[in-house]
Every structure is written in C-alpha cells, then in structure tokens.
Amino acid sequence: MFATRIFIAIFLCCGSAHSCLSGWLTHGSKCYHFSHDKEEWVNAVTVCQILGGHLVEIEDVNENNYIVAQAKLGNKSYWIGLNDLQEENTWVWVNNNKHATYTDWYTNQPDNSRNNENCALIAQPYGYLWNDASCSLSLNYICESEAENVDIVG
C-alpha cells in the first residue's frame, strides 16, 4: 500500500511532455510552424531549415487532418514538402527523399498544368486538398520538426 502511494505521488508530480519552440504548435511528437510570410517553394525549404525543421511531410490521414484544421484557421494555402522536381509524376518528400505513401490530392491532381507544376500545396481554393503548382509562386508554408521530450516535475 505504501509503495502504491509512492508510485501515485511520483506519477502525479513527475512526467514528460513534448515541447516546441515559441511560435510552433505541438501535435503528438511533432512541432509545426505555419508561416505568416510568403516564399517561393525552394525558399520555404531553406527558411524551414534555418528555423530548425523542414517543410512539412504529411505521413497519414491523422496528421493531414490536423494540418488542414490549422490551415483553415489561417484561411490560406500552404506549401508542403512534396515535389516531383527530379522526375515528373514521381512525388517525393524534400527532407527524406521518400515517395509519398499518403496523399490527399484534389480531383484530377496533380496535373502539371502548363508543364510547370512540380511543388505541392494544401490549396485553400480546393477545400484544403492537395494541388500541384509552379514552385515559383510565393505562398505561405508549413515547417515541421520533432518535439523535444521534457521532464515535468512538480
């Protein structure tokens, strides 16, 4: 009984949580920064690296739902880290160069309109589904990083 009380006391006073930098949002073990400025896609990649992360790589429907909910609050379109710059219609994530296993494209997208759409975005005009666009457009962007585990005492 005494050991149980000690365990409960330790559990109540001590634990761990995920922590993100100021201005970043925590979701699960990830941190997200929804930009207030606009950049071309390649510049967004660089800015995210400078901030300690990378352009967001959406891995599953749960992450996409969270990202979309936050994007709707901003009422904007946002660059994500998906591109087919190396090989047309082979969509890979910029940070890890892996093929996308989860996507949420708008109907008939990606379409490479005018043979000049190689970067992906969450598109506000298309109900926050994904679209391909010219990488030279200046858009808001979403950075992602791993959250840090911090101990909570007290």
What is the per-residue pLDDT across 41-99, written as a single tens digit (0 to 9) for each? 999 999 999 999 999 999 999 999 999 999 999 999 999 999 999 999 999 999 999 99
pLDDT of the residue at 12: 36
Q: Evaluate if residue 139 carries a pLDDT over 90.
A: yes
Q: Give the confidence band of 148 by pLDDT, cuts at 50, 70, 90.
A: confident
Each residue of 2-38: pLDDT tens digit?
Answer: 433 433 333 334 444 668 999 999 999 999 999 999 9
pLDDT of the residue at 17: 62
How many C-beta atoms surround the C-beta of residue 20 within 10 A?
Answer: 18
pLDDT of the residue at 114: 93
pLDDT of the residue at 3: 39
- Which domains does the chain show, CATH number per domain? 25-147 (3.10.100.10)
Candidates 36, 31, 33; CA nearest to 19 is: 31
Question: What residues contact 10, with CB distance under 8 A and at least 6 apart?
Answer: none
Which pair of tokens denotes residue 132? 């391909």
